[in-house]
Amino acid sequence: MLYFLFISQACNLRCSYCGGTPEDRIMPLRISYDIDSLKKFLSRDANPTLIFYGGEPLIFMRDLMRIMDEIPARYLLQTNGLLLRKLPSQYLHQFDGILVSIDGRNDVTDWYRGKGVNQRILENVRYIRDKENYRGDLIARLTVSEKSNIFEEVKFLVSVELFDHYHWQIDALWDYPRDLRWNNFDYWLEEVYNPGITRLVKWWISWMLKTGESLGIVPFLVLTRILLTGKPVGLQCGAGEVAFSIATDGTLLPCPVSAGYEWARLGNIQDQEPSALVGKIGLEEPCVNCDVRWICGGRCLVANKTQYWGKEGFFKVCESIRHLIAEIENHLDELCHLISRGILTEKALDYPATEMGLEVIP
């Protein structure tokens, strides 16, 4: 199974949609349990993947390296990228994949994350690619909010030729009140985001035709596979089924964003078996009986449980999912053509997004 392992709550950025302010009541600032108890807990899982998470997990790099020294597992890293070049080579090359938080064009990332941040991230990613010869999966992980134009942000990140995959999450439904960070979410969704998806799907296909290569835009790849196979999916981030989270005090949760919610507490690494966690928490309405659930999977367990934006706000976000599905459906013939020409490969379509710690549905 996949475990999002909090190395710390501390972060070296203060992003506008996050804040990065550690909250003592949620969990301790850094790991407070004995590493042996983590080792014992994970030894009961035949195939564990640890995805190091925070805050910024590289702030307490020694804790992370000690865990890698002592606990055999498959490793992933989710990082803001600012300390990447400080990670010693022997650890860097052990990561199957690195998820780098970056929001797109310079002015957009800098608007959310701070002046000069985008360039610093790109320099560090370039450094591990060129100087360290890192060949694992580099994933650009965008947060998409009111300043973002999804078409421009993804196109920019493709143009820097550093990443293997691209994935994004809409900054929606996380908190209350609904318009805490939005001037006009509905307008943005209808007039900016959805048209941006329409353009991006077309551009994705033309890019692959032009270059003769697959392009790793994760939500498009996975939805193409689902629509072509007709095989229904579950919650695609895997929360509560194949993916869990371990807080700095050892508390077990279905996903990292659920820290702080009473309903999400699944016990502690000291007193739980990995297998006992599976299926304890699941989706409720409106996802359970939704007509597109077999394709969507339910988007987000936390959003489904909290419903911070009410039914109306929740369904507004669902409109973006329906639009995305429709856009892929509209282009299935062209996508089949790319597959038959060997451009869009089976390997690309079979991308194991959940195993890489991605939610699939933005």
**Positions in the binding site for ligand SF4 (CB under 6 A):** 237, 239, 255, 257, 286-287, 290, 292-293, 296, 298-302, 318, 321, 359
Minimum distance of ligand SF4 from residue 171's CB (angstroms): 12
Minimum distance of ligand SF4 from residue 66's CB (angstroms): 26
Minimum distance of ligand SF4 from residue 303's CB (angstroms): 6
Taking the least distance from each CB to ligand SF4, the nearer of 122 and 226 is 226
Handedness of CA 325, 330, 335, 340 (dihedral sign): positive
Taking the least distance from each CB to ligand SF4, the nearer of 1 and 162 is 1
Taking the least distance from each CB to ligand SF4, the nearer of 52 and 156 is 52
CB 128 within 8 A of CB 105: no
Whether the ω angle into residue 72 lies within 30 degrees of 0, i.e. cis, is: no
Interatomic CA distance for residues 245 and 97, integer angstroms: 18
Minimum distance of ligand SF4 from residue 211's CB (angstroms): 31
Minimum distance of ligand SF4 from residue 305's CB (angstroms): 9
Taking the least distance from each CB to ligand SF4, the nearer of 158 and 290 is 290
Taking the least distance from each CB to ligand SF4, the nearer of 196 and 298 is 298
CB 70 within 8 A of CB 39: yes
Minimum distance of ligand SF4 from residue 110's CB (angstroms): 25
Taking the least distance from each CB to ligand SF4, the nearer of 277 and 296 is 296
Residue 362 gets which letter from DSSP? Answer: -
Interatomic CA distance for residues 321 and 233, integer angstroms: 15
> 293-298 long-range contacts, Cβ below 8 Å, gap at least 24?
293/232, 294/226, 294/232, 294/233, 295/223, 295/226, 295/227, 295/232, 295/233, 295/325, 296/233, 296/236, 296/321, 296/325, 296/361, 297/233, 297/234, 297/235, 297/236, 297/360, 297/361, 298/234, 298/235, 298/236
HEC secondary structure over 32-82: CCCHHHHHHHHHCCCCCEEEEECCCCCCCHHHHHHHHHHCCCEEEEEECCC
Minimum distance of ligand SF4 from residue 254's CB (angstroms): 7
Backbone angles phi, psi at 267, to 5 degrees: 110, -160
Taking the least distance from each CB to ligand SF4, the nearer of 250 and 298 is 298
